Amino acid sequence: MVPTVSVVIPVYNARGFLRPTVDSVLAQTWGDWELIIVDDGSTDGSEDAVRGYRGRLRYVRQENGGVAKARNRGIAESTGRYVALMDHDDLWHPTKLEKQMAVLEHRPDIGMVITDVAHIDRDGRDMGIVGAGYRPSERFARLFVRGYVPTPSAAVIRRSVLDHVGGFDEAFRSAGLDDHELWTRIAEHYEIANIAEPLTFHRNLAIKPAHIALEHRVLLISKLMMRFSEDAEKRHYLLEERAMHLADQGKERIKRGECRQGRSDLLHGLGLSLGEARSLKTAWRCLTRIVRSYV
Measure the N-to-C terminal CA separation of the chain; round to a whole number of Å.
68
- Going along the chain, which residue ranges are E strands? 5-11, 33-40, 58-62, 82-85, 91-92, 110-120, 126-131, 156-158, 191-203
Q: What is the pLDDT of residue 236?
A: 98
Per-residue confidence (pLDDT) for residue 175, from 0 to 100:
63
Burial class (CB in 10 A: 0-12, 13-18, 19+), 119: middle
- Identify the pLDDT of residue 54: 79
Output the pTM of the full model: 0.94
pLDDT digits 0-9 by tens, 234-266: 999 999 999 999 999 999 999 999 999 999 999
Average pLDDT over residues 17-31: 97
Q: Which CATH architecture has domain 5-203?
A: Alpha-Beta Complex (3.90)
pLDDT tens-place string over residues 94-135: 999 999 999 999 999 999 999 999 999 988 899 999 999 999
Q: Is the pLDDT of residue 208 over 90?
A: no
Confidence of residue 44 (pLDDT cuts 50, 70, 90): very high
Closest C-alpha among 194, 2, 10 to residue 100: 194
Rounded to whole angstroms, the Cα distance separating 50 from 113 reads 28
Q: Which of 87, 70, 84 is nearest to 202 (CA)?
A: 87
- Which amino acid belongs to residue 254? I
What are the pLDDT digits (tens) for 173-184? 776 799 999 999
Look over the chain and give the mean of its residue pLDDT values, rounded to a whole number.
95
pLDDT at 206: 60
Q: How much is the pLDDT for 204?
A: 85
Domains of the chain, residue spans: 5-203, 210-292
